[in-house]
Structure 1
Amino acid sequence: MTVAMDANALNRFLAGEFPQIAGSFRVEALEGDVLTARLIVAGEHLRPGGTVSGPSIFALADVAVYCAILSRIGPVALAVTTNASIDFMRKPAAGTDLLARCTLLKLGRSLAVAEALIFSEGLAEPVARCSMTYSIPPK
């Protein structure tokens, strides 16, 4: 496995290209084939009742998969999601950040497939599972 961007480079890239989300998402670690990303849960991520909203959970999965791909191919801002499927399995824990553990399943020249498991920080059972396919633009 060749790493084109480490966690620090990915965080700098997100801050530069997507400043609107820089305060909400962060790449925590890149270890082997697994990237871990964090959603820093704040009021804008909650739905009535105080739980993290489905769109926020989905966004974490999308950011994690995007960063996992970029960690291998470098800063390609125009890589885009072409397919996504998410299973919401349990309610996230209140008042805690969410972590996504993302694994690349296939990295080709034009398509990448990855899976992300989403956890409430400190808990072992996943909150959601997401499978995504990304289109990688030609060089």
Structure 2
Amino acid sequence: MRVLWGFLSGLVFGLGLVISGMANPAKVLNFLDLAGTWDPSLAFVMGGATLTAFVGYRLVWRRKAPVLDRTFDIPKNRVIDTPLIAGAALFGIGWGIGGFCPGPAFTALPLLAPGTLIFLPAMLAGLWLGARIKAGGYPQGKGATS
């Protein structure tokens, strides 16, 4: 049952990304281009998502436990460290250069656009390399903590 609900949730999320235009890197890049062809429509998408998440969390936190699990899985680490800052910066730079973040990149894959076909393998290679560095498979840079 969890797999079915996970699939349906992912399907709704993916459809939302496609319908909102988030799967189109040109739309995202135009949103980021404040001095050029700025397109503010994605601000409304983000505002709608923020409002939906706000209301959803208020409803969910009234429950003692999630519907399909025994307890809520809440991260306990609240430390802002070098890997967190570096990861956030890399994510933002990649989003700004490619016009994709991971979810929309996967939803755009069926379009077979050349940018998607370059971005996804590069993203997967970066994820693999990051996991190897975190696991100690490669030397970490100066100042990095684990």
Could you tell me the TM-score, scaled by structure 1's length? 0.26
Please identify the structure whose Cα radius of gyration is greater: 2
